[in-house]
C-alpha cells in the first residue's frame, strides 16, 4: 500500500446521488462515508513491498481494487470481481480528503507533462475507453452518443481517437452540446419532445445512414428506446448510463435486426492506455474542467454539480499548492 497526499478530486454524478439519496441500486449508505473516486495525488509513504513508487511520485488512482484473485481477475476482467473494493461505493470510503491510503498496484505514476487534474480525469475517461472498446469502435465507424454530460463527452473524445468517422450526440441542453462540439462531435441534436423514433431518424439523416454503434449515457427509458431504433441492423448498442431498474424497450426490434446490446460496469485495464494518450497529447481532456474549488468549499462544489452547471467540477485538496 501507499499513503498519498491528495491533490485533485473530480465530483461524479454518483457522488451527488449518494449525497442526495443515500443509495444507488443495491448499494446503500448505512454509515458515514467519504465520497470521491476521480483522483490524483502525491506519494508520501510506501509500504515495505512497494518497488514501483517512491515518496514524491505524482500518481493517478484507479478506485476499484479486487480483494482476491478470482476467475474474473484471472481472465483480466477484474472489474466484475464480486469482492472488489471501490472508492465511494458503500461501505467503502472514497478519497475526497487530505490523505488517503490505497493499494500500490492501482496507483499509476504520472509523467511530468500530465497534470494532477488530467490524472483525476483518467477515471471518467476510462469509462469512455471501456465503453468504446466494448462497442467495437474502429476506423470509419459512425457513432451515436446519447447524452452530453461528462460521460457522453469522454465517449466522443475516445470514439474520435479510435477512428470514428462521424459522431452525433444528443442532449436537452444547448450549452452541453456546444461543449460536445468543442471536444470533437461532428453533429449535435438538441432533443425537445420528439418521440424515440423521431430522434432515431434525425440521427440517421445527419449521419447519412444509421450508426453501427450507439453509446447510451443517460439511462433514460426514452433514450434507450431511441438508441435501439437508431442503431443499424447488425450494430451494437452499449448501455453506459444507469436509470431505473426496470425499463420498457423495443427488444423485438433489436432482436430481429441483430442489434447487440452490451452493458459496461466501470472499466478495467484502462489507466496505462489513458496515461499514454495524455502523455502523447493525443487526447485533450482539459476542456472538461469548468469549475475548481478548494476542499473547504466542497459543499458549494457539490451544489454546483447538482445544479448541472458546467461540466466537471474539481476539488483541490492540497492547500500548499495553489496552481490550477
Q: Start-end ranges of CATH 3.90.180.10 in the chain?
A: 2-109+285-316
Nine cell digits for residue 292:
475548481
- In this prediction, residue 324 carries a pLDDT of 43
**pLDDT in the model for residue 319:** 76
Which single residue is written with the C-alpha cell 419532445? 193
Topology of domain 130-263, per CATH?
Rossmann fold (3.40.50)
pLDDT on residue 50: 96
DSSP letters spanning 80-148: G-TT-EETTBTTB--S-SSEEEE-GGGEEEPPTTS-HHHHHHHHHHHHHHHHHHHHT--TT-EEEEE--
Residue 108 · residue 41 · CB < 8 Å: no
What is the model's pLDDT at position 320? 75
**CATH architecture label of 2-109+285-316:** Alpha-Beta Complex (3.90)
Strands 260-263 and 236-239: parallel
Round the CA-based radius of gyration of the chain to a whole number and report it: 20
- What per-residue confidence (pLDDT) applies to 273? 98
CA separation for the pair 140, 162 (Å, rounded): 9
Tens-binned pLDDT, residue by residue, of the chain (324 aa): 999 999 999 999 999 999 999 999 899 999 999 999 999 999 999 999 999 999 999 999 999 999 999 999 999 999 999 999 999 999 999 999 999 999 999 999 999 999 999 999 999 999 999 999 999 999 999 999 999 999 999 999 999 999 999 999 999 999 999 999 999 999 999 999 999 999 999 999 999 999 999 999 999 999 999 999 999 999 999 999 999 999 999 999 999 999 999 999 999 999 999 999 999 999 999 999 999 999 999 999 999 999 999 899 999 998 776 554
Amino acid at each position: 500500500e501507499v499513503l498519498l497526499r491528495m491533490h485533485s478530486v473530480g465530483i461524479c454524478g454518483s457522488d451527488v446521488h449518494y449525497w442526495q439519496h443515500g443509495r444507488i441500486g443495491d448499494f446503500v449508505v448505512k454509515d458515514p462515508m467519504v465520497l470521491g473516486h476521480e483522483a490524483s495525488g502525491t506519494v508520501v509513504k510506501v509500504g515495505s513491498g512497494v518497488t514501483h513508487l517512491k515518496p514524491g511520485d505524482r500518481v493517478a488512482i484507479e478506485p476499484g481494487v479486487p480483494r482476491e484473485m478470482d476467475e474474473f481477475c484471472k481472465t483480466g476482467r477484474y472489474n466484475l470481481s464480486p469482492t472488489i473494493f471501490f472508492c465511494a461505493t458503500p461501505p467503502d470510503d472514497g478519497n475526497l480528503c487530505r490523505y488517503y491510503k490505497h493499494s500500490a498496484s492501482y496507483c499509476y505514476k504520472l509523467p511530468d507533462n500530465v497534470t494532477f487534474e488530467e490524472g483525476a480525469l483518467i477515471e471518467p475517461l476510462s469509462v469512455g475507453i471501456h465503453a468504446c472498446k466494448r462497442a467495437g469502435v474502429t476506423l470509419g465507424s459512425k457513432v451515436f452518443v446519447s447524452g452530453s454530460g461528462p460521460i457522453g463527452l469522454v465517449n466522443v473524445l475516445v470514439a474520435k481517437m479510435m477512428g470514428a468517422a462521424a459522431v452525433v450526440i444528443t442532449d436537452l441542453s444547448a450549452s452541453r452540446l456546444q461543449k460536445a462540439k468543442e471536444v470533437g462531435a461532428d453533429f449535435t441534436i438538441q432533443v425537445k419532445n420528439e418521440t424515440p423514433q423521431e430522434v432515431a431518424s434525425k440521427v440517421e439523416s445527419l449521419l447519412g445512414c444509421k450508426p453501427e454503434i450507439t453509446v447510451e449515457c443517460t439511462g433514460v427509458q426514452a433514450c434507450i428506446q431511441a438508441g435501439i431504433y437508431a442503431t443499424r441492423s447488425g450494430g451494437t448498442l452499449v448501455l453506459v448510463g444507469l436509470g431505473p431498474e426496470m425499463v420498457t424497450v423495443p427488444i423485438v426490434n433489436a432482436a430481429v435486426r441483430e442489434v447487440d446490446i452490451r452493458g459496461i460496469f466501470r472499466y478495467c485495464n484502462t489507466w496505462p492506455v489513458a496515461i499514454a494518450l495524455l502523455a502523447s497529447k493525443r487526447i485533450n481532456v482539459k476542456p472538461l474542467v469548468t469549475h475548481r474549488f478548494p476542499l473547504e468549499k466542497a459543499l458549494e462544489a457539490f451544489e454546483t454539480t447538482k445544479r448541472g452547471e458546467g461540466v466537471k467540477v474539481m476539488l483541490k485538496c492540497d492547500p500548499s499548492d495553489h496552481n490550477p
